[in-house]
Every structure is written in structure tokens, then in C-alpha cells.
Amino acid sequence: MSVTSSPARLVVLVSGAGTNLQALLDACADPSYGARVVAVGADRDDIEGLARAERAGVPTFVRKVSQFTSREDWDRAMADTVAAFDPDLVVSAGFMKLAGAEFLARFPGRYVNTHPALLPAFPGMHGAADALEHGVKVAGATLFVVDPGVDTGPIIAQRAVPVEPEDDVESLHERIKVAEREMLVEAVGRIAREGLVVTGRKVRYGSAGK
């Protein structure tokens, strides 16, 4: 995306606790951050992520797959709803659904996802658990530009954390999430202020030609 003088418009998608969303909401309270959350979307009701948005006075929407006759219809409805908020960047922050072809086509290079593992290792729904099970000594989080694969897109930022001998999935995931929130806030702020250029698998902050 390119840079504008007004704050970048973020639509954040969530499915659960929304601590990454909260970190973005908190960062956006500072005008110098350069972004604001204009809407929060979810694929389910009654989650803390939506409550966080409501407390912050941010509009919310819910589109459940079960409300639609096909996954394609759900995907189109998500894309239409997100597009109505005119986002500069769409952030999947604990959103546990894969976007389809229509959604990706509507937000090319502008849909990013945070994942609790050091990709390309441990993609999928259980990044922290899979890393622990594999016995790695270093785990972490990755922010990437979403492509049609499962957690395969070009990497924007990564943060590493140690795996401790006494870790269970919860303790490891919590340690990852502390680093993940810092990574997300820093990277989204830089994207908002500087722009993002994706060339094949290579990603850099800035605008094309600079």
C-alpha cells in the first residue's frame, strides 16, 4: 500500500480473545502512530475481540459461514462488508478462517495475517502446539501478506522467543503472544506510515520507486 497524510484505515478480523486487536487499538490512540481501526469483523458472536471493539467505540460486524449457502457466498459477503469500510489495510489478528479467492482479489497485497510460529515452520491452526510437539528450542510469531496458500505468503516481520523446558502449549503461546503483539504494532505502524512493497517473496517498507 502507499502512504497518505490521513491515518491509514485498518479493518481488523478476529475470532477470539482479541489481544492483538487491543494492542492495535491502544497504539492507534496516539495520532503519531498513523493508523486507526475503522471496523472489526468476526466469523462468530460473543467473543472478547468484538467486546474490545465495542468498548473502543469501533463499528463491528459478524459474518458466520453458517449464514451462507456456500463458502464462496460467505467470502463475497466478507469482502463486500470489509470493502464498505474502505480499508487501506486488512489485518487478520487471530481470525480462524481462510480467505477465499474473491477476498484476496479485492485486497491485493493489503491483507496481512499474524501467526504464532516462525513460518514457514508450523503453518495452520495450531502453530504454537505444533512447535512445542516438534521440540524446537526457539518459537515465535510471523506477520505475512496473505496469499492463496495456508500461511505461505511473503513475510513482513518475525519475532523469536525461547521455548523453556517446562513449557506447555498455554505458557508457550502466551510468551509468543507478548512478542507477537509488539511485532504487529511495530509492523502495522510502519506499513501505515511508510507503505509496503511486495516483490515476489520479498517485502519491504516504503513505496514503489523509493
Name residues contacting ligand GAR, limited to 99-118 (CB under 6 A).
114-116
CA 7/CA 88 separation, integer angstroms: 9
User: Does 180 sit near ligand GAR (CB under 6 A)?
Assistant: yes
Give the Cα separation of 80 and 99 in Å (integer). Answer: 13
Give the residue with the Cβ less far from ligand GAR, 15 or 195: 15
Q: Does 17 bind ligand GAR (CB under 6 A)?
A: yes
| 16 contacts ligand GAR (rule: CB under 6 A) | yes
Of the candidates 45, 66, 125, 165, which one interacts with ligand GAR according to CB under 6 A?
Answer: 125
Q: Judged by CB under 6 A, does residue 97 bind ligand GAR?
A: no
- The answer to whether 141 and 183 are in contact (CB under 8 A) is yes
115 is known as an active-site residue: yes
d(CA 180, CA 127): 13
- The C-alpha cell at 53 is 471493539
Q: Check: CB of residue 61 under 8 Å from CB of residue 49.
A: no
Residue nearest to ligand GAR (CB): 94
Residues belonging to the active site: 115
